Chain A
Amino acid sequence: MRVAHPRRRAASPAPIAAVVRVAATVLTIALVGCVPPPPWSDDGRTDLEAIAPLELDAAREAEALRRAREVTVRIRSIGCDRLGVGSGVVLPGGLIVTNRHVVGSPRRLEVTTWDGVGLEVVVDGVALDSDLAVLRSADPGALPAAALRDAPARVGEPVIVVGYPEGGPSTITTGDVVALQDGELFDEPAEVIVIDAEVRPGNSGGPVLDADGLLIGVVFARDPERRLGLAVPVGTLLDRLDAAALAPPDDC
């Protein structure tokens, strides 16, 4: 006789199913333990694009003009019965370039800067074939100097002219190079620079600078009818300096 026994538990689930259940349980508990990230806010962000750009072109132009004024000096030539006033430009090494006709036949020369500071100078010499004269300062370290440009002047390029027209205060005018003219008409050995910047008596000997403040010429004359100025190119100056083609000025 077969005895009926209490039924045992049905067969257990497969091991894989059990592992899945356990993993799900662990994952659920882990997820329950997570916290959300703190909220972010976009308030108060600085807009860097709002910073205005620097106006460098205007600053450079102002600096060039300021520099141009500093390198231009006023020259007073006291002769026997004559008083001449003109301009000059300071070069490295304490040299000051001006016109021969500004120096004239001096008993003495008095040179001052744009702000009235007096300079002790001597005459190095005057050119014989060009309207140029070279002075030398006794204290070269005290003067800002103009840099010379290697490239010759170009028609159409802008220029800065500085001087002491009619013996007045330092004056800056601007214009362009309008032509390069044969220098023979003006007893100059090379082409001269023709500019339309305003030039008046007293500007003689003053610098003609390019837009970067580099020296390209020295004013020596003007054409009042055409309202043009004439300048000796810096190449002529360098030739006269290099060859030491200078002579003492005429006696008073």
Chain B
Amino acid sequence: MDDADPPRDPGARATGDRGPVEPREATADGPADPEATPRTRSPGRGWSGWPAIGLVIALLAAGVALQQRSVADEWRDRALALELQRDEAVGRAEALSSQLDELAELQATTSSELDALTERLAELAGEKAEAEDRALVTETERDAAGRVAQQVASAVRGLDACILALLDLRAATVDAFNRVAAGRSVDVAPLNAQSDAAIALCNEARAAAAAAGSAASSLG
């Protein structure tokens, strides 16, 4: 018999790859060896508190999970609410865009009508001004014609005076010739003066007639 391999205790239980475990010498009732010190329990080795700790941890985890689920639910609700708001805003934006298009179209129409009205107003103002021009021209021509008429009348009066003066001069001249023929003396000084006056009147009449003629010509 080989002493290197001690005989296997039939009570030993093989534990996997660790091989048979040597049975403990100590028992629950006390050490087999009265001189051996009692074994103390090492932590983690056969401690019965782990289930409790596990339970606490599980409860804590469950609580955290419930709290997280609640928070997640809140966030989801908020997101849904925001999405609803966004959809409403999109709808309002589309409605406003549609209204803006309508207003732009209306403005274009109004602007076009305003341009047409402005042009019409300018035309009417122009027609009014042209009518006033024609009226003024008529008035001016009438005034000019009136002045010409006055000038012609003045010239006519001058010519009348000239003719009368010449007739008076002729009568005085004939009288003077008769006196001379009768052998009487004649003072020619008054006759000369009368002649000068008649000439002056006639010259004035000629000038007035010329002016009237010129004015009449300018009326054209």
Contact = CB atoms under 8 A, between A and B. Distances in A.
Contact of B133 (A4, A26, A167): A167
A38 B90 contact: no
Majority SS at the chain B contact face: helix
A56 interface: no
Contacts of A164: 126, 129
Interface stretch (B57-65, B151-159, B164-172, B184-192): B57-65
Interface stretch (B39-47, B173-181, B193-201, B202-210): B39-47
B46 A12 contact: yes
A119 to B, nearest CB: 13
Interface of B: 9, 11, 13, 15, 21, 23-25, 27-28, 32, 44-47, 50, 53-54, 57-58, 60-62, 64-66, 68-69, 72-73, 75-76, 79-80, 83, 87, 90-91, 93-94, 97, 118, 121-130, 132-133, 136-137, 140, 143-144, 218
A156 B83 CA distance: 59
A83 B144 CA distance: 12
A26 B200 CA distance: 145
A22 B57 contact: yes
Nearest to B46: A9
26 contacts: A7-B21, A8-B24, A12-B46, A26-B61, A29-B61, A29-B62, A29-B64, A29-B65, A34-B69, A37-B79, A41-B83, A44-B90, A76-B133, A78-B140, A81-B143, A82-B140, A83-B133, A83-B140, A85-B133, A110-B132, A115-B125, A116-B124, A164-B129, A167-B133, A168-B130, A170-B125
Interface residues of A, number: 51
B46 A44 contact: no
B76 A37 contact: yes
